[in-house]
Amino acid sequence: GAGVSQSPSNKVTEKGKDVELRCDPISGHTALYWYRQSLGQGLEFLIYFQGNSAPDKSGLPSDRFSAERTGGSVSTLTIQRTQQEDSAVYLCASSLAHRGNNYGYTFGSGTRLTVV
């Protein structure tokens, strides 16, 4: 597609429920990233995927968070047993490559998650 597409754009869920957030990167972009941004805060790295390599999960805040990327394209971020502190905007980005380049990322418009 022309840009990074994320769905849903807004999600309100009850505490304790599981949620799935979807990201469809720019076609041909091999690197895909998930970040989250809490109100008034900076972007917090969660996880990245590069081609067929094992993902870097070093930013995931707890084992309730997981992500997968199927076929090197679409990615799903899953949050199990959501807590109120999970409320944030979850941003997905993609890039032509990862290391050794000066490419920036292109972000999707994000999913605003509210846990009530």
Partner 1 sequence: RKEVEQDPGPFNVPEGATVAFNCTYSNSASQSFFWYRQDCRKEPKLLMSVYSSGNEDGRFTAQLNRASQYISLLIRDSKLSDSATYLCVVRDYGGSQGNLIFGKGTKLSVKP
Q: Does 110 bind partner 1 (CB under 8 A)?
A: yes
Of the candidates 30, 69, 25, which has an alpha carbon nearest to the alpha carbon of residue 47?
69
Q: Does 72 bind partner 1 (CB under 8 A)?
A: no
Separation between Cα atoms, residue 43 and residue 103, nearest integer Å:
18
CB of 3 or CB of 16, closer to partner 1? 3
Q: Take residue 104 and report the two structure tokens written for it.
A: 């920036």
Separation between Cα atoms, residue 91 and residue 102, nearest integer Å:
21
Least Å distance between CB 51 and partner 1?
A: 13
Separation between Cα atoms, residue 77 and residue 32, nearest integer Å:
12
Q: Does 26 bind partner 1 (CB under 8 A)?
A: no
CB of 43 or CB of 74, closer to partner 1? 43
> Which of 10, 41, 78, 114: binder of partner 1 (CB under 8 A)?
41
Q: Does 98 bind partner 1 (CB under 8 A)?
A: yes
CB of 17 or CB of 31, closer to partner 1? 31
Separation between Cα atoms, residue 6 and residue 58, nearest integer Å:
22
DSSP-derived 3-state class of residue 108: coil
Q: Does 104 bind partner 1 (CB under 8 A)?
A: yes
